[in-house]
Structure 1
């Protein structure tokens, strides 16, 4: 009974603050304050406050909250251990299998990486009057190094 009275008083005070805010021509803020102040009134009218009051004084409900907290901590702990290991056992096995099989044939990406091949054409020297700056001989060397570092 007292919880309902307190929630109703909070709602009335919030609506009063919303009215003063609207009087100051801050309608968006007034609407937001009115929305927040109507929440406790709605909770009282739906009976959620009575349920919450009954739950707050129930030892069984507090034990249930404790069990839920323990479950949440277990989920959190297992997730952090999983991140340190680098994924689940199934994911690690799949990654190891893919690494052993070689997902991409090494020779398949050699031409695109600019690897040394005997049929590689040499670039013609630029003309003197072309106005273009001379392109570096291997402008993808940094990208190639990154790809090699990651085993691609």
Structure 2
């Protein structure tokens, strides 16, 4: 009974606001507000409000919602554990045996290097700064010149 009274009051207030909006020549806004304000009365007349009020005050319904929440948490936990594992045990053993600690596809950018560049992650590493034999011969800039010529610079 209280819920029906509240819904009726909300609808009456909404219709009042719609009337003020129509008085101010905002007819589209007034129509939209009137439509929204008729929804609570429609819910009362169809019995939805009584049904919701009956559900909201039953302890068994809240226990059911609690159980659904626990089930959802269990599903979420198992999914997180599966994602964390990522691979099967056999795949992990094979990876350890191969000694693979690099990226999944270390030579994936090899085609973009073309014929002049070296493939693999070793080419991307900078050379150490202490190279007395390369500094003496002037050979340390030959790979840079090759890259510049390749790009037309």
TM-score (norm 1): 0.53
Q: For residue 60 of structure 1, what is the aligned residue in structure 2?
A: 60
Write the distance in 2 (CA, Å) between the matches of 1:70 and 1:60: 15
Q: Could you say if the C-alpha distance between residues 115 and 47 of structure 1 is closer, same or farther in structure 2, counting changes exceeding 3 Å?
A: farther
Write the distance in 2 (CA, Å) between the matches of 1:42 and 1:110: 67
Write the distance in 1 (CA, Å) between the matches of 2:60 and 2:78: 27
Write the distance in 1 (CA, Å) between the matches of 2:74 and 2:15: 43
Task: Decide which of 128, 137, 143 is 2:149's aligned counterpart.
Answer: 137
Give the CA deviation at 1:57. Answer: 1.7
Write the distance in 1 (CA, Å) between the matches of 2:49 and 2:69: 22
Q: How many residues align?
A: 109
Q: For residue 27 of structure 1, what is the aligned residue in structure 2?
A: 27
TM-score (norm 2): 0.53
Q: Could you say if the C-alpha distance between residues 71 and 24 of structure 1 is closer, same or farther in structure 2, counting changes exceeding 3 Å?
A: farther
**Larger-Rg structure:** 2
Give the CA deviation at 1:13. Answer: 1.2
Q: Could you say if the C-alpha distance between residues 47 and 73 of structure 1 is closer, same or farther in structure 2, counting changes exceeding 3 Å?
A: same
Q: For residue 135 of structure 2, what is the aligned residue in structure 1?
A: none
Q: Where in structure 2 are there 5+ consecutive unaligned residues?
A: 99-104, 118-146
What's the Cα RMSD here? 3.5
